[in-house]
C-alpha cells in the first residue's frame, strides 16, 4: 500500500471515529488513534515533524511561567482553516469565499497559515494569495480561534508553546474529534511544545491584556455543557494558570442570539475587545429597542466597578451599532463588529452590507489612527455563529 492510500485510509478512519465518539467530552480521547493521526499528518509536516508528533513534548502550565500575550503584541503569522463540511449545505461556498477573503485581507499585513483538509490542498492553494501558506491536516471546521492552541510565550519571549484545551464542539453541538486533536498537529508543525489543559474551553471565550487580566462571560464558561464537574473557582484558577494571569473579570452576558444551534453560548469576543491596556471596545447598541442594551448595560456596570490586574480602571469605548439582517430568509441577530482581527499593521473588520458599516469603520479609524482598516463581508460568518476574530488564531512572534 502506498503513502497516499495510507493517508486516505487514516483520514477515513478518523472521520468514522469522529462520528462514533460524539457525546460528552472525554479528556482521554486526545490519545485516541494516534497512529492514524500521525499517518494523516505526513503530508504536512514530514518525517521529522512526525517524530515530534509521536513524542509530544508537553509542559506543565502551573510551573512553566509562559504567558499568553495580548493580541496587539507582534505576530509571526495567523492560523486559519478552509471550511469543507457539507453540513453547511448551500452556505458552504459562501463560507469558503468569506474565509478566503479574510485570509487575503490579513495577508496584506502579516503571513497567514491556512489549514486544508486532507486532499483539498491544491484547491485551497489556488484560491489564496502569495502571502498565504497552505498546510494539509485533518480538522472539522474553520473556527480556529476556538480549536487551535492558545499560544503562550516564555518569560524571556524567546520560546513559545501551545496550550491544548479540550474542545467538545461548543457544548457537544457539533462533531469535534478532529478539531479536538488539531493542537497536536499545529504544535508539531510549528515545532513548539504542547501543554495539555484538562478543561473544555474555546479561545473566543476569553480576552486578555497580556498583563495579568482575563475577561470572560458567565453565560459561556459556567454553562454546564462545558465543564459540569468544575466550580466557577476551579474554572477561574485553571485559566489564570494557563494564561499566567492573576485576575479574571466575569461579565454576565454574551450577545443576544448567541445561544442557538450555530452559537457559542456567549463568547466574550462578540461582546468586548481590548484596544490597548485598560481600554476596551464594548458592543453597546444605541438603539434602545435592541435586546442587547440591557445585557451590555449589565456588562458595563461590572467593568465600571472593576479594575484590571494592575489596578487600572477601564476606559470604555462603545460600539454604538449592531445591525440585523437576513440570510436565506432568516434574521441574523448575533453579528458583531467587535469580532475583528488586529494584525501587525492593519485592522480587518467584519461588515454587514448595511448603513451601519460606515459608522463602525469610521470608529475603527478613530481608534486606530494611521492604521489601515479593511472591511470584509461577515454576514455568512455571523449566520453561522461567528466573525473575523472567530476564524483566526494569532501566533505570537518569538525572539
Active site residues: 390
Cell numbers at 379, concatenated: 454576514
Nearest to 159 by CA among 92, 65, 31: 65
Backbone conformation region of residue 32, classed left if phi is above 0, alpha if psi is from -120 to 50, else beta: beta
Distance CA 238, CA 245 (A): 10
Task: Report the distance separating Cα 369 and Cα 99, nearest Å.
Answer: 26
* Burial category of 24 from C-beta neighbours within 10 Å (exposed 0-12, middle 13-18, buried 19 and up): exposed
Burial group, residue 173, by CB count within 10 angstroms (0-12, 13-18, 19+) = middle
Amino acid at each position: 500500500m502506498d503513502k497516499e492510500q495510507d493517508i486516505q485510509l487514516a483520514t477515513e478512519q478518523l472521520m468514522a471515529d469522529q462520528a462514533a465518539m460524539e457525546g460528552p467530552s472525554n479528556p482521554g480521547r486526545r490519545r485516541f488513534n494516534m497512529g492514524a493521526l500521525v499517518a494523516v499528518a505526513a503530508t504536512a509536516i514530514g518525517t521529522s515533524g512526525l517524530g515530534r508528533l509521536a513524542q509530544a513534548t508537553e509542559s506543565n502550565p502551573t510551573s512553566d511561567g509562559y504567558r499568553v500575550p495580548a493580541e496587539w503584541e507582534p505576530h509571526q503569522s495567523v492560523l486559519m482553516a478552509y471550511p469543507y463540511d457539507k453540513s453547511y449545505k448551500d452556505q458552504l461556498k459562501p463560507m469558503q469565499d468569506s474565509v478566503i477573503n479574510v485570509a487575503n485581507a490579513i495577508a496584506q499585513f502579516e503571513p497567514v497559515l491556512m489549514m486544508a483538509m486532507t486532499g483539498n490542498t491544491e484547491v485551497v492553494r489556488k484560491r489564496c494569495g502569495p502571502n498565504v501558506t497552505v498546510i494539509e491536516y485533518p480538522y472539522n471546521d474553520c473556527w480556529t480561534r476556538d480549536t487551535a492552541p492558545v499560544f503562550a510565550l516564555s518569560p524571556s519571549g524567546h520560546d513559545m508553546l501551545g496550550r491544548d484545551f479540550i474542545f467538545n464542539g461548543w457544548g457537544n453541538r457539533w462533531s469535534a474529534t478532529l478539531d479536538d486533536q488539531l493542537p497536536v498537529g499545529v504544535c508539531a508543525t510549528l515545532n513548539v511544545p504542547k501543554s495539555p489543559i484538562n478543561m473544555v474551553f474555546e479561545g473566543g471565550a476569553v480576552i486578555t491584556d497580556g498583563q495579568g487580566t482575563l475577561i470572560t462571560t458567565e453565560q459561556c464558561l459556567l454553562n454546564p455543557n462545558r465543564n459540569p464537574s468544575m466550580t466557577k473557582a476551579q474554572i477561574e484558577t485553571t485559566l489564570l494558570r494557563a494564561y499566567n494571569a492573576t485576575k479574571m473579570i466575569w461579565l454576565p452576558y454574551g450577545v443576544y442570539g448567541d445561544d442557538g444551534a450555530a452559537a457559542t453560548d456567549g463568547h466574550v469576543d462578540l461582546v468586548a475587545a481590548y484596544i490597548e491596556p485598560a481600554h476596551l471596545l464594548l458592543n453597546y447598541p444605541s438603539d434602545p429597542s435592541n435586546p442587547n442594551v440591557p445585557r451590555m448595560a449589565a456588562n458595563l456596570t461590572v467593568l465600571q466597578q472593576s479594575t484590571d490586574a494592575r489596578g487600572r480602571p477601564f476606559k470604555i469605548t462603545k460600539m454604538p451599532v449592531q445591525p440585523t439582517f437576513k440570510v436565506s430568509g432568516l434574521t441574523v441577530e448575533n453579528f458583531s463588529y467587535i469580532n475583528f482581527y488586529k494584525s501587525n499593521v492593519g485592522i480587518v473588520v467584519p461588515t454587514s452590507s448595511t448603513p451601519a458599516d460606515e459608522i463602525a469603520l469610521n470608529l475603527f479609524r478613530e481608534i486606530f489612527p494611521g492604521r489601515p482598516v479593511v472591511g470584509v463581508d461577515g454576514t455568512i460568518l455571523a449566520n453561522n455563529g461567528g466573525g473575523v476574530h472567530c476564524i483566526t488564531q494569532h501566533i505570537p512572534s518569538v525572539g
